[in-house]
Amino acid sequence: MLPVAALTVLNLSADAFLAYAVTRGDLAVVAVLASLAPVVTALLAHALTAERPSAPQAAGAALAVLGTLVVSAAQAAA
Amino acid sequence: MTKRVAPVLLVLYSQALQSVVLLVVVMAVRQPYSGAGLAWGTAAGAVGAAGLVAYYQALAVGQTAIVAPLASTGAVLPLLVDLARGERPGPVALGGLLLVLGGIVVTSLASGELDEPAPAPTWHGPPATRRRVAVPRPPVPILLALVAAVLFGLFFVGVDLGGEAAGGSVLWVALGVQLGALPTALTGTLRSRAGGASASTTGPWCCRWPP
């Protein structure tokens, strides 16, 4: 049951931190930082798994994240 | 550690536990009840959970470092909704949207499975069949990640509408999200119980929810 507890705590803390950040912080900054989550996921996957995407694949994924980041920043600033 | 609990059970238990914790928090904070907020949250939760199923499958069959960024592009869906409603987003937002679309296309092409492998060139020059165009089709993990992205995007739209409807009672929206996701987690558990070791039990055992 340890993974259940860990997953619950991680999920709820992430929600709580995000909610706190959105209410207290600059929304444009929060939106950009929050959209960086898949970067953390990709880095963890690189560190913990043997998966190695090709350079074009990584470039495409990076482009998608960058675009999401730009849209988040623009929407939050609007 | 991951072998002891089936992933679907883990999600179900965690989901149920989060619902209970949120219910307690909602009661303790005493936010005024918002039926509309709860309803929008529940709808968003159901859609988001469906997106999570697609996301799990994408992660199970594809590379995490590719699937996670693509699934996260769902955050731009509200912008597409704005566009569809006739609103004119700023140039920066539109530029970001183009970057996202470009990234999806590049990743899809880079991961495309060729229906017909091109013949290798020889020392005597390129093969005669060189100009026959092999038709690339996007691989399953990419498609699943994009389905997840769309569903996650709809989740954001639902939460946004719920937040507007609930006014200050956002915790009721959050509770709705957890409750709306419960049936999907329950169905996944029952299906994996009925079908023995299904594909879903080989998936990753944890991921961020809500996305």
Disruptive mutation site among A1, A2, A4 for chain B (greatest number of B CBs within 10 Å) = A4
Q: Which of A21-25, B4-8, B101-105 has the lowest mean pLDDT?
A: B4-8
- Side chain identity at B115, as an amino acid letter? D
The pTM score is 0.78
- Residue B150 to chain A, least CA–CA distance (Å): 13
Please determine, for residue B107, whether its predicted confidence score (pLDDT) is greater than 90.
yes
Closest CA of chain A from B112, distance in Å: 10
For residue B110, give how far its alpha carbon lies from the nearest alpha carbon of chain A (Å). Answer: 5
Look at A8 and B64 and tell me if their CB atoms are within 8 Å. Answer: no
Q: What is residue B168's predicted lDDT score, i.e. its pLDDT?
A: 82
Residue range B155-164, pLDDT digits in tens: 989 998 998 9
Q: List Cβ neighbours of B63 (8 Å cut-off, separation of 6 or more).
A: A45, A51, A53, A57, B141
Question: A53 and B65 in contact by Cβ < 8 A?
Answer: yes
Q: Note whether A58 contacts B65, CB cutoff 8 Å.
A: yes
Which among A8, A59, A71 is the nearest to B100, CB-wise? A71
User: Which chain A residues contact residue B102 at CB under 8 A?
Assistant: 60, 63, 67
Higher local confidence (pLDDT), B2 or B85: B85
Nearest CB to B14 within list A8, A53, A60: A8
> What residue spans define the domains of chain A?
2-77
Confidence of residue A30 (pLDDT cuts 50, 70, 90): confident
Under DSSP, the state recorded for A78 is -
Of the pLDDT bands very low, low, confident and very high (cuts 50, 70, 90), residue A22 is confident
Higher pLDDT, B137 or A5: A5
pLDDT for res B14: 81
d(CA B29, CA A47): 40
B-chain residues within 8 Å CB-CB of A12?
Answer: 18, 21
Q: How far is CA A43 from CA A15, B68, B69, in A?
A: 21, 11, 11
pLDDT above 70: residue B136: no
Joined together, the tokens standing for residue B82 give 């704005």
- Put simply, whether B210 touches A (Cβ < 8 Å) is yes
Contact B72 A62 (CB under 8 A): no
- ipTM score of complex: 0.85
